[in-house]
Amino acid sequence: MTLENNRTFISPRNQRISRPHCKFGHATKDSYGFEYPTMSSLVDAVISQVDNEFPCRQFAHGCSFDDIVWQQAIGALMNQDHTRRGHDLVDDKKVLFDLVVSGLVDHQDFDEPHKWSSRSIRYSAVVTDHLWSLFEAERKRNDRVEAELQALKGQVALLNNRLLTVDRFSFNANKKVNTELEKDGVRLNRHRSCLNTLQDKHNVLVTFVGGHSSQLELHRRGLLSLRGRMCMCAAPESPIDGSGEAPSFSSPSTPRGCHGSVI
């Protein structure tokens, strides 16, 4: 890549992009009042970004329109050679590539180039290159989003499978719990039936005991009355209290009175 006569850029493929002649000569100040950049600095500004994703985004603010288009044309040509030439361009893309490159480089004499038409064609080619780059960047972004979407769909499918597994496990667990609850319910009903039977037997026993308690009380009272009518010199070893034990006498065959006299 060379800059011939400070006005013609020559690419590695020997493609030429000439800076239009200006009848006012080379300006010393730009539109902002700063020193006008040299042509080599304008070229270096776009060549240094060839390896970037957008290599021709430098813009010569304050320069003349012709110099801006000239600089952008150099960047666009480098962009086309670096990112698109040699790739498998098919159909309309191949035609578009050839049209853009033809609009960027100098025309030959038999093309009868004209200053104003050449500037318009070069400007259109520069804009087309920028739009093409933006389109490709958007396509890459869409491809990345599509890849992320596919990955997300895969994760959602995996999550759905896990949810189905959890639902299946939960169903089986609930079924098992319901079975155990039914068994516990049967056992509980059996125990309740046994408790009701025992309660009935208890009630019968209480009724039976209650029916004989009055007779036991009568026998007890009779024994107490009998003890009151009996006179013994020595107190019996155990009182007549209805316990069923007979009193102890000194001579059971010979009843005696209070003072030991024979009755």
Which segments of the chain have a pLDDT < 70?
1, 4-5, 21-27, 49-57, 86-87, 231-263
Query: Which residue's structure tokens are 């890549």?
Result: 1
Q: How far is CA 195 from the centre of its chain?
A: 55
Render pLDDT for 54-90 as a digit per residue (tens, 0 to 9).
554 677 888 888 888 988 898 888 888 888 776 677 7
| DSSP string covering the chain | -EEETTTEEE-TT--EEEPPP-TT---SB-TTSSBPPPHHHHHHHHHTTTTSSSTT----TTS-HHHHHHHHHHHHHHHHHHHTTTS---THHHHHHHHHHHHHSPPPGGG---HHHHHHHHHHHHHHHHHHHHHHHHHHHHHHHHHHHHHHHHHHHHHHHHHHHHHHHHHHHHHHHHHHHHHHHHHHHHHHHHHHHHHHHHHHHHHHHHHHHHHHHHHHHHHHHHHHH---SS--SS--SSSSPPPP-S-TTS-B-TTS-B-
| Whether the Cβ atoms of residue 157 and residue 139 lie closer than 8 Å to each other | no
Domain boundaries, the chain: 2-139
- State the pTM of this model: 0.57
Render pLDDT for 162-183 as a digit per residue (tens, 0 to 9).
999 999 999 999 989 999 999 9
